[in-house]
Structure 1
Amino acid sequence: MAQVQSVERTLSILEFLAEHPEGLGITELSRKMELAKSTAHRLLSTLVNRGYVEQKEENGDYRLGIQCLVIASSLLNNLDIRSVAKEALHTLARSSGEVVHLCMQDQYEVVYIDKVESEQTLRMYSQIGRRAFMHCTGVGKALLSGISKEEVDKMIEEKGLPKFTENTITDKEALFKELKLIREIGYAVDEQEHEKGIRCIAAPVFDHNGKAVAAISIAGPAERVTEERVKEELAKEIVDQSLAISKQLGFFKH
């Protein structure tokens, strides 16, 4: 397929500048691209006029402009998280042999938006579109760990902390202590808090703004998803995959 040289060069300028956020002078940029200064200047002038590149007043160097952020934000905001997460969900299902979920928060409830079935028998009621409370599910607690104390207070005010099993957290301060731990270790565990006999491990998924926009989980019978297995095997797997999804959404972990 024929390529347009000026477009190729323009895109190369943007890629070079992306690699040098501190900026590049026209001499260095021309040298790196093996271009005449006059050609580089013409292309840069067009990019500056359109807002994709800006020139620093103090030294005349060029760096990426705000219009690049506008384009990037549009792409990131329109990513279908189910498509982005699909590979990670299947990877977790294969490695764990358990059922894997992808969930989002809506009106202080978790909504199951995708699911990869386990090849093993699992007596667990879960289906796409199902809703559940946040305080008693792994995915719910993972999502709560990423929001402010005021928002958690609001959730408690609206939804309460109803008890489902003897392990359900029904005390506000206990919940805040749990969320603090989740932020420290990077994952949440549902210790048979929603359904007796089912243990679940979950981790939050972050977008390019660092906001927890979803959560993924591995769930299975407590005799199979043991506390030991969660700590020694599943914790690393789910954190790794949640980070992989987050990176595709533009998240950068400092």
Structure 2
Amino acid sequence: MMSILESTDVDPETDDAAASGSPGVRSVEVGLSLLPLMLAAEAPMSLTALAQASGMAPPKVHRYMASLVRSGLVARDPASGGYDLGPMAVSIGLSALGRLDPESLGRDAIRTLAQRLDETALLAVFANRGATVVAVEAATHSVFMAVRVGSVLSATRSATGRAFLAFHDDPAVRLAAEKEIGRDDLASLIGDIRAAGIAWTRDELLEGISAVAAPVFDHDGRVIQVLTVLGSSPSFDVSPYGPAARAARAEAEAISRSLGFYR
């Protein structure tokens, strides 16, 4: 039985990538590009659906599916005929997840943010019933801050806490937040944060300090850590689409993808 790499049943334009000036086998790249489509789907995909989503002709998709099924990366449902991720894809995913260290990724991300923006960056996890700081990367300029490793930040008055509050499902934290700011205000706050994908504060936790915070999700869609950037309010843009927010969101999304999370 021929493997994907050995198969001669490929279209000329998707064969060896040498034509594009880069090494590799183009047909493998095209075939593997079908896997994210199945990953994002909530159910097995039909050949027609895969063809429409990929922009390829159905016969072409069928040939790739045949090779991917033989490799174990794809499985075909005998009842519906739909295609889904196969046992080899599951094994690869679990193995990759087991080798990742989310905290190390988060530390690298806040280091990048601090260097790129020249602002202080924090990494926090949800522990002790709250947003707990586990790493701090300082900016080159001085910013007074009473937050340090081990600090547990307010769920409603800190950007970090708000990011967890909006995406975490701990009912005790939600109840405490409702008592603090009221149910209607909490619902409005959570709605705004979820819509923007980022939380922000200005002069709330500390006078003169503003911050933006982006959540990191694992493969099950659970928020496992938050990346926060903070700086002096007069010069710090807390807009959800400002430079700090965009940078924090991009780093958080990159970690989330590496952990297997796809929106």
TM norm structure 1:
0.69
* Correspondence 1:207 to 2:223: no
Given that residues 154 and 161 in structure 2 are in contact (C-alpha distance below 8 angstroms), is that contact kept between their aligned partners in structure 1?
yes
**Aligned partner of residue 105 in structure 1, secondary structure:** strand
Q: How does 1:51-90 map to 2 (within 5 A)?
A: 54=75, 56-57=77-78, 64-66=85-87, 68-76=89-97, 79-90=100-111
Aligned-residue identity in percent: 22
Query: Quick one: structure 1 residues 113 and 225, their matched pair in 2 at CA, closer, same or farther if it must change by over 3 Å?
Result: same
The alignment partner of 2:155 has SS state of coil
> By how many angstroms is 1:62 displaced?
8.2
* C-alpha contact (below 8 Å) 2:237/2:244 kept by paired residues: no
Q: 1:248 to 1:53 in 2, by over 3 A?
A: closer
Contact 1:135 1:161 in 2 (8 A): no
Aligned-residue RMSD, C-alpha: 3.9
Q: 1:17 to 1:175 in 2, by over 3 A?
A: same
Residue of structure 1 aligned with 2:256, choices 206, 231, 246? 246
Equivalences for residues 1-254 of structure 1 within 5 A: 18-21=32-35, 28=63, 44=70, 54=75, 56-57=77-78, 64-66=85-87, 68-76=89-97, 79-148=100-169, 151-152=170-171, 154-157=172-175, 170-227=181-238, 231-253=241-263
| In structure 2, C-alpha distance between the alignment counterparts of 1:107 and 1:160, rounded to whole Å | 19
Distance 1:145 1:57, change over 3 A: same
Cα separation, 2, equivalents of 1:67 and 1:79:
19
Shift of 1:147: 3.1
Aligned residues: 222
Q: Contact 2:160–2:227 at 8 Å: present in 1 too? A: yes
Aligned partner letter, 1:155: V
Structure 2 unaligned spans of 5+ = 7-24, 36-44, 48-58
Partner secondary structure for residue 123 of structure 1:
coil
C-alpha offsets along residues 98-153 of structure 1, whole Å, 9 cap, x if unaligned? 100111112430111222111110110222222222222101111111134xx34x
| Displacement of 1:88 | 2.6
Q: Secondary structure at the match of 2:226?
A: strand
Conserved in 2, the CA contact under 8 Å of 1:108 and 1:155? Answer: yes
Alpha-carbon distance, 1:20 to partner: 3.9
Greater relative contact order (Cα 8 A, min sep 6): structure 1 or 2? 1
TM-score by length of 2: 0.67
Show structure 1 runs of 5+ residues with no match: 1-5, 34-40, 163-169
- Distance verdict in 2 for CA 1:195–1:250, change over 3 Å: same
C-alpha distance after superposition, 1:72-108 (max 9, x if no partner): 2353256211222344322211222110011111243
Residue 200 of structure 2 contacts residue 238 of structure 2 at CA under 8 Å; is this kept in 1? no
Distance 1:77 1:241, change over 3 A: same
